Chain A
């Protein structure tokens, strides 16, 4: 990759990440959302993730301001409850520590039939498999044909996403059959391509 492309990628990815994530981090702090977006854009463009992380940590330590937005944006009350006149105190959790901040902003509340831990496990499995795939593909010292292992690993990733993220493991089996009904036709397409 030439230098100009690297610089463009650095600027674009940094400005975009800063512009999107910074207002989220600074939400409900004593600082305006539009100002933080602009700040994130500039800091991200200059220093990308290396300057953005210290900025986010700094912003997350700013004092909180009183909630002014509609209740449904802030707390854990459903729209139906809100229409019925239920008022709930915003559950902001412990936002003082980094772990508390992450938990309050990114960790869904537990409920019956929650699949949070399964999703986290599948995510890490996908990340590890991708890493193994890239190593297999780019490492010159491997003395065997990597096509088979690569196909097997990507198939495993597809199955993980379909069964867990797309919920087929938990849903009615009919949805699986509808999805699988495409496979014979896909097989015919591949057969025709291999003959032609």
Chain B
């Protein structure tokens, strides 16, 4: 079949000018509800009794956002790049600077203070299990995207389910580690405590954010939003999740492995 004949068989929408053909979705309150829910969740770290309220509002926001379509803007400049993917990489670049400041501060404190006797308090084996969970979850995401690109929905859901389970497992392991250290009187009043809780806390918040994003993805996927022809939303999540994995690889080495 020649190229012209192939074009004749394309649907009418394919012949339209992509710049003119953008259909903007109607206004939605979902992002505001989700942001409010996450804010209350964050407040729940100080006031634990508001945690369930924040979780319910955030999950409601996610459910509402699951009904919100993803829109490509079809920019006229840099057409060889995808605008949403471009935005994601810019965001990740800003995250590199953010975490460099945190990890750099940790290393500076470590070199200055020495953190004597701390290595015996840290549970390297527990952290190794957490690291393994994140590495396997990263692998699960790439396999899920591979499955989606082949339209293997069952395989896609299975790998995404594993990612969700491992993400939550990592958060539980972090919570255990914090509990253990607090039990040994290493709190925010010590120099090591300040550096450790700040760095691993921000990383943990990123993992929790990723887990919420993953729940949103699964809601959208159950509604049939993604397929081999439309998987960018899952790919963007994958980029974020791998980045969180990378940050932990560095943190694991700096905090747990190097004495």
A residues with a Cβ closer than 8 A to B are 1-2, 5, 8-9, 12-13, 16-17, 20-21, 24, 27, 70, 72-80, 82, 104-111, 114-116, 119, 122-123, 126-127, 130, 133-134, 136-138, 146-147, 150-151, 153-154, 157-158, 161-162, 164-167, 172, 174-175, 178-179, 181-183, 185-186, 189-190, 193-194, 196
Contact between chains at B139 and A111 (CB < 8 Å): no
Contact between chains at A123 and B139 (CB < 8 Å): yes
Query: How many of B's residues come within 8 Å of A, CB to CB?
Result: 78
Contact between chains at B93 and A182 (CB < 8 Å): yes
CB distance from B148 to the nearest CB of A (A): 8
Across the interface, B151 reaches (CB within 8 A) one of A24, A76, A158, namely: A76
Most buried by B among A109, A127, A190, A193: A193
Stretch from B65-73, B194-202, B209-217, B241-249 contacting the other chain: B241-249
Contact of A179 with B153 at beta-carbon distance under 8 Å, contacts A17-B165, A119-B142, A130-B128 already known:
no
Give CA–CA (A157, B138) in the complex, Å.
Answer: 12
The 8 closest A-B pairs by CB, nearest first: A182-B93, A186-B100, A182-B96, A108-B147, A154-B253, A137-B257, A109-B150, A78-B227
Contact between chains at A108 and B152 (CB < 8 Å): yes
Contact of A161 with B242 at beta-carbon distance under 8 Å, contacts A72-B153, A138-B124 already known:
yes
Main secondary structure of the interface of A (DSSP, over half): helix
Q: At the interface, yes or no: B4 with Cβ under 8 Å from chain A?
A: no
Contact between chains at B172 and A174 (CB < 8 Å): no
Instruction: With CB as the reference atom, state the residue of chain B lying closest to A8.
Output: B176
- 10 of the cross-chain contacts (CB-CB < 8 Å) are A73-B153, A106-B159, A108-B147, A119-B142, A119-B143, A130-B128, A137-B259, A157-B249, A158-B246, A165-B238
Contact between chains at A114 and B146 (CB < 8 Å): yes
Give CA–CA (A77, B227) in the complex, Å.
Answer: 9
Which residues of chain B come closer than 8 Å to A106, judged between CB atoms? 143, 155, 158-159
Contact between chains at B151 and A166 (CB < 8 Å): no
Q: What would 18 more interface pairs be, CB under 8 Å, given A114-B146, A190-B104?
A: A13-B172, A27-B154, A73-B222, A74-B153, A76-B150, A76-B152, A78-B227, A111-B149, A119-B142, A130-B135, A134-B257, A154-B252, A164-B142, A174-B80, A178-B86, A179-B89, A182-B93, A194-B108
